[in-house]
Amino acid sequence: MRGFLVLIGAGLVGVTVGIMGFTFGYANGFAYFADDPATCKQCHSMNKQYDAWAKGSHKTVACQECHSPEKHSQPVQWLLSEADNGFWHSLKFTTGAYPTNIKIRDHNKELVRENCLNCHGNLVSQIEQPSLHSNAQIDCLRCHNEVGHKR
């Protein structure tokens, strides 16, 4: 009985890895590791954001500069985030199990917030100052949630 379950378990892992491999490869999951916004656009799911980004105030800023941890200063976080996001995007895309209007996940939103400061840290040094030791205090996105790509 126990052996049987292990067998099933192993089978499931195999199948899962297989699907992962297929979807990740076929759906261009590796594109996620690139810096060129065009690679995001390879999925039609990203068209809306891409089109709006291309017309927006941040068209000189690549998707990854907002949506991934800074590659050079945080290499490990960068890799983990890429793998996580690359995997989920590919899986959801392949299965089609995502809503008409996709929503940013909380931890990815947090990430975007921190990235604002990479570029605009100086500008907001005064307003951040009363809460200098807790970055999360001022939420840029409460006022600027459309900077990347207006809806």
Q: What are the DSSP E strand ranges found in 22-124?
A: none
Binding residue (CB under 8 A) for another protein from 16, 57, 118, 137: 137
> For 131, which DSSP code?
G
129 binding another protein? (CB under 8 A): yes
CA atoms within 13 A on the CB side of 35: 9
Which is nearer to ligand HEC, 1 or 97 (by Cβ)? Answer: 97
Binding residue (CB under 6 A) for ligand HEC from 19, 71, 87, 98: 98
Beta carbons of 111 and 68 less than 8 angstroms apart: yes
- 132 CB-near residues (< 8 Å, 6+ apart): none
73 binding another protein? (CB under 8 A): no
CB neighbours (10 Å) of residue 115?
19
Q: Which chain residues interact with ligand HEC by CB under 6 A?
A: 27-29, 31-32, 37, 39-40, 42-43, 45-46, 49-50, 53, 57-58, 60-61, 63-67, 85, 89-90, 92-93, 98-99, 102-105, 108-109, 112, 115-116, 118-120, 123-124, 126-130, 138-145, 147-149
